[in-house]
Amino acid sequence: MGLVRGQEAADSTRIDFAFTGLTRTGALSELGRQQQLRIYYAPEWFPEASISRSFRGRTLESIMTDLLSGTELNFYRYDAHTFILTRNTRIYDELPEQFFGSDFERDSATSAGATARAPAPMPIFIAQEEIPEETTVETVRIGRQTASTPGQLFILEGYIRERTSGNPVPDVAVLVTNRGRGTATDVNGYYRLELPPGLQELRTRFIGMEPVRKQVILYNDGQLDLLVDEAVEQLEEVVVEADADRNVEEVTAGTDRIDAEESKDIPLVLGERNILEVAASLPGISKAGEGATGLNVRGGRTDQNQFLLNSALVYNPTHFFGIFQALNPFVTESVDIYKGAIPVEFGGRLSAVFDIHTVDGDTTELKGEGSVGPVTANLAFEVPVVKGRSSLVLGGRGAYSDWILRSVGEDRLSGTEASFYDFIATYTDRINENNQVKATGYYSKDRFSITRDSLVGYSNRAASVVWNHTFDQRNLATFTLANSRYAFNIGYDGEANTDFDLGYSVEETELRAWNRFRYNDRHQFTYGLAAKYYSVNPGTRSPSGADSDVQRTEIPGEQALEAGIFLADRFAVSDRLELEAGIRWSFFGALGPSDQREYPEGQPRNPGTATDTLSFGGGEFIKTYGGPEIRASARYLLGPELSLRAGYSNMYQYIHTLTNTTTVSPIDTWKLSDYNIRPQKSRQVSLGIFRNFDDAAIEVSAEGYYKWSEDVLDFKTGARLLLNEAVETEVVQGDGRAYGIEFLIRKNRGRLNGWLGYTYSRTEVRFDSPYPSEQINNGEFFPANYDRPHDISLVANYRFTRRYSLSMNFAYQTGRPVTYPIGQYFFNNSEYVLYSDRNKNRIPDYIRLDLGINIEGNHRKEKLTHSFWTISVYNVLGRSNPYSVYFVSEGGEVRALQSSIFAIPIPSITYNFKF
């Protein structure tokens, strides 16, 4: 695979070589014998078949290429007389296409299997070559010259110590660069090398230490002790970097990626790492407020996002009203975010896909990581199962808020609950080179009391098995089986005979099979199909306690089938222009058994206007929806570090949350499209310009979008959504338009790194109908609840030394729209407020600054465990950012109240450890 860049590659000596009826191994030995070559390989790599060839006036390289064609082998010309054959491994297989930069020429004859999708960035450890070194190198002579036989080796040994402390430094690489030899110091800082006599160019290399360079003229055995200095800026030089030019060369419009590492240093509330919160600091992604569950992506409702945890959907990946993520931070590796032209293999949600990947786990040694913070404790283990092959990852976390609540001893809180936990287990098995299986199980649970009478609990369950199978170098197939469930229940325990338990659940099972086929260098196809079965229990109310007279009520369940068949071609039209064009045929069928009400055209829908009830049997399609979804992106490289990217997509969504609150709550129900409720649809166009500077150290981009949506759901004022069989009479479907422009400047390397994002966006919705009861704001466009035109995020991290770093996070957002009353009136012996148009006012702007300090433990001395402390202050400015403004009527009077979730600076300390 293109490793022909060896130093002898320029050898252009032309030779003749012919043979008949030899196996490839035979041919290679013959070639070696004739040309006095040493060729290293394993005979079992070759097929048994015999071949015949006749070469005239060809270079050795071209002969080699020919001999290896049709195999998976590459060669590497080590020197004039040495060839090393290597066999492609899966690791090479997954190397990003642009790993060596876009100008790198691929050897097509030996090119490896396809990487069909956007190249996954790999961390590149930039070692310290760039450190300017003194040009004059000290020369040391060792030993006394004696008569020696040619080929005799001498011993060079010594100790390496840290200059100031005098402590021995283990694990220092001692390299003799002109001899290709090297060793590392042991725990006592001792090294020993066997070297031929003469000039040795000696270098030491160790992370955290200044390199030492010496010229050693070796005459005999001898000792050389070295003192090394601690390199203050050392860690700066070790940069985990996303694929350098990904930003510019990515083809798919509207993609982002967050590595868990990135979220580590960002100060967050109560010391909890939250990768979703980091996502919300990227342009185009926002939250309705602190304590608002869910993200709004490019003007989309929160129900239009798909959170996939190793391909299994997680309906609500947050705890405690969105304040904490429900993902174990140590197990999460990265999140790929698609907010524009979503790749064809995903479907079913209009706005975005958050593709969350967990770590694969170490297959050689047991590893653990944990943290103790003010609210939760987290723990994760990586357990090798079959050494070098498979690994189990276990992660768990829990909040001890119940304990805090109890220990406060406040009477008002007696019997109050608020707790959560989540648990994840993944098993990864590289069965062989061609097969890898990853199985995931996940569960999260929240419980809290909203009022003293009721207790709310919700849970997410997700499980998946993903099997990656490499048919050959050009076909990589993925089979996924996933099952997810979201459920909540409300337990009501009051004084009367009305105590009940209310339960809701939605469950889905998906099977997906798809293949990435690298047809040639220019075409890479993705095709496959997916099928999903939904089953919803829209609500069951049952009596609780002996005294309850509540009759069991069950809203009949809903079932549906969603399917997609898709094909995409990633087509490199030229060096500069690359297209990704795909189509996904989306299908949805609501399934019986079910009774569906029919409403006459030309009349408002309410329980009284239903004219007929249609009964559907089990497995019968009630109604089907669907159509083609186009996913198209194009990237044009204007220069090596400058590109334009455009995208178009349209999508269907068949499952919707029903909410009658201004922000999303965990007890919002998911409703499937049915006879009366149509799917939501959207179309989006986007255009962006991407520029990198300084070898991708700085990325600058601007991307604009316009999005139309149809049949988005809202509800009539004061709608009753829970336990309502005829819920279609409470909802209205309207259209939306959203547009915006997103700017991002990102610095990826250096002591100071981070990003500054600014988004200007508008999101408006319109609910129009001939009937006033189905209109909102007279059927005109009005700002959606999450319309926040200006959004600025600044995330920065500054590393002082390798142990101390300072991070900050600044956020500014226009206040979200809110419905203010226009007046008050007296009714029923009490004052009430009068509301009119929805979302005419805004709550004050949101401004927040967080600061954090990370203190790393000493790497060298504590070999067993590595620890770091995170000290952070959330909302340093202490600004009381209003979350909502509302009006209560009490004691016969109306009062305007404003609530904020975090009104004061909140300090926290978290202890993290690793072993």
Partner 1 sequence: MRSLFNSRPLSVRFLLVACLLTALGCVEEIEIETDRESIDQARNALVVEATLTDEDRTQEVVLSRAADFENDSIVGFDEEDPDTYLVPDLDPENRPILYETGASVTVEDDRGVQFDFVEGEPGRYFSVNPFAAEAGRGYRLLITLRSGNRITSEFESVPGTASLEDLRAERATDPLRGPGIQFAVDGLATAGTEAYFRYTFEETFKVVAPLWSPEDFVLSNYDPCADPVEYDLEIVTRTTPNQVCYRTEESESIIQGTTVGLSSGELRNFPVHFIDRQQYKIAERYSILVRQHVEDLDAYLYYDRLRNFSQEGNVFSQIQPGFLQGNLQPQADAPLLVIGYFSVTSVSERRIFLDFEDFFPGEAAPPFVVPCVLRSSPVTHLTRCPLVPVMESGSGCPLSVIELLDLGGLITYYATYDESLQPGDPGYAICPGPYSYAPRVCGDCTVLGTNQVPDFWIE
Find the binder of partner 1 among 10, 49, 147, 496 (CB under 8 A). 496
Query: Which one among 366, 431, 904, 909 touches partner 1, defined by CB under 8 A?
Result: 904
CA 882 to chain centre: 30
Q: Are 590 and 560 in contact (CB under 8 A)?
A: yes
Q: How many residues bind partner 1 (CB under 8 A)?
A: 95
Q: By CB under 8 A, is residue 320 in contact with partner 1?
A: yes
Helix (H) or strand (E) run with residue 336 in it: strand 332-338
Pairing mode of beta strands 190-195, 296-297: unpaired
State yes or no: residue 664 binds partner 1 (CB under 8 A): yes
Tell me which residues in 667-686 interact with partner 1 (CB under 8 A): none
User: Taking CB under 8 A as the rule, does residue 826 contact partner 1?
Assistant: yes
**Strands 352-358 and 305-309, how do they pair?**
parallel
- Neighbouring-strand partners of residue 646: 634, 687
Question: What binding mask, one character per residue, do residues 702-731 give for partner 1 by CB under 8 A, x or -?
Answer: -------------x-xx-x-----------
Cα gap 24→47, rounded to integer Å: 8
Residue (272 or 345) nearer to partner 1, CB: 272
Minimum CB separation of residue 777 from partner 1 in Å reads 9
Determine which residue in the list 218, 309, 876, 885 makes contact with partner 1, applying CB under 8 A.
885
Contact status: 103 vs partner 1 (CB under 8 A): no
Q: Which of 880, 911, 914, 915 binds partner 1 (CB under 8 A)?
A: 880
Burial of 493 (0-12, 13-18, 19+ CB in 10 A): middle
Q: What minimum distance in Å lies between the beta carbon of 606 and partner 1?
A: 10
Residue from 663, 682, 753, 761 in contact with partner 1 (CB under 8 A): 663
Determine, following the binding rule CB under 8 A, whether residue 546 of this chain makes contact with partner 1: no
Tell the smallest beta-carbon distance from residue 553 to partner 1 (Å).
5
Nearer to partner 1 by Cβ, of 265 and 446: the residue is: 446
Nearer to partner 1, 192 or 452 (CB): 452
Position 661 contacts partner 1 (CB under 8 A): yes
Q: Is 877 helix (H, G, I), strand (E, B) or coil?
A: coil
Rank residues 379 and 833 by Cβ distance to partner 1 and give the closer one: 833
Among residues 716 and 746, whose Cβ is nearest to partner 1? Answer: 716
Taking CB under 8 A as the rule, does residue 187 contact partner 1?
no
> Before 593, cis peptide (omega within 30)?
yes
Distance of closest approach, residue 730 Cβ to partner 1, in angstroms: 10
The candidate with the shortest Cα–Cα distance to 270, out of 372, 369, 371, 375, is 375
CA trace torsion 874, 875, 881, 884 (10° rounding): 10
Residues 778-817 close enough to bind partner 1 by CB under 8 A: 785
Alpha carbon dihedral 692, 694, 696, 702, in 10-degree steps, equals: -20
Shortest CB 541 distance to partner 1, Å: 7
Question: CA–CA distance from 497 to each of 161, 398, 544, 724 (Å)?
Answer: 79, 35, 9, 21
Residue 873 makes contact with partner 1 by CB under 8 A = no
Of 123-131, 231-239, 548-556, 628-636, the segment contacting partner 1 by CB under 8 A is 548-556
Member of 660, 769, 801, 867 binding partner 1 (CB under 8 A): 660
Kindly calculate the radius of gyration of the chain based on its CA atoms and give it in whole angstroms: 32
Task: Select the residue interacting with partner 1 from 889, 911, 913, 914 (CB under 8 A).
Answer: 889
List C-alpha distances in Å: 758 to 265, 282, 740, 794, 808.
21, 8, 10, 9, 16
Contact letters for partner 1, residues 270-289 (x by CB under 8 A): x-------------------
Between CA 547 and CA 500 the distance in angstroms is 10
Contact mark string toward partner 1, 353..382, x via CB under 8 A: ----------------------x-------
| Residues numbered 832-851 forming contacts with partner 1, rule: CB under 8 A | 832-836, 838
Piece of 583-591, 679-687, 754-762, 881-889 that binds partner 1 (CB under 8 A): 881-889
Q: Which residues contact 718 (CB under 8 A, 6 or more apart)?
A: 660
CA distance 189 to 205: 13
Find, among 627, 477, 647, 625, the residue nearest to 565 by Cα: 627
Distance CA 699, CA 701 (A): 7
Residues forming beta bridges with residue 829, ordered by sequence position = none
893 contributes a contact to partner 1 by CB under 8 A = yes
Torsion of CA 123, 127, 130, 134, to 10 degrees: 170
One of 581, 906, 913, 915 touching partner 1 (CB under 8 A): 906
- Gap between the Cα atoms of 587 and 625, Å rounded: 6
Residue nearer to partner 1 on the CB measure, 38 or 452: 452
Per CB under 8 A, 540 contacts partner 1 = no
356 and 595 Cβ atoms separated by less than 8 Å: no
- Give whichever of 693 and 825 is closer to partner 1, judged by the CB atom: 825
Contact set for partner 1, span 405-464 (CB under 8 A): 405, 408, 410-416, 418, 448-452
Please report, to the nearest 10 degrees, the dihedral formed by the alpha carbons of residues 718, 721, 725, 728 taken in order: 70
Number of other residues whose CB lies within 10 A of the CB of residue 825: 11
Give the nearer residue to partner 1 in terms of CB position, either 35 or 898.
898
The answer to whether residue 60 forms part of the interface with partner 1 (CB under 8 A) is no
> Residue 825 interacts with partner 1 (CB under 8 A)?
yes
Taking the least distance from each CB to partner 1, the nearer of 62 and 899 is 899
- What tokens appear for 622 in the block? 């009630």
**Smallest gap from residue 826 Cβ to partner 1 (A):** 5
Residue from 43, 123, 600, 892 touching partner 1 (CB under 8 A): that is 892
Residue 626 is a binding residue for partner 1 (CB under 8 A): no
82's CB contacts (< 8 A; 6+ apart) are: 37, 38, 39, 40
Find, among 663, 666, 651, 747, the residue nearest to 708 by Cα. Answer: 651
Instruction: Name the one range near partner 1 by CB under 8 A: 38-46, 249-257, 673-681, 825-833.
Output: 825-833
Closest distance to partner 1 from the beta carbon of 451 (Å): 5
Is 502 one of the binding residues for partner 1 (CB under 8 A)?
no
Q: Please, which residue, 70 or 494, has the CB nearer to partner 1? A: 494
How far from the centroid of its chain's Cα atoms is residue 703's Cα?
20
Q: Is 638 in the site for partner 1 (CB under 8 A)?
A: no
- The one among 149, 165, 611, 828 contacting partner 1 by CB under 8 A: 828
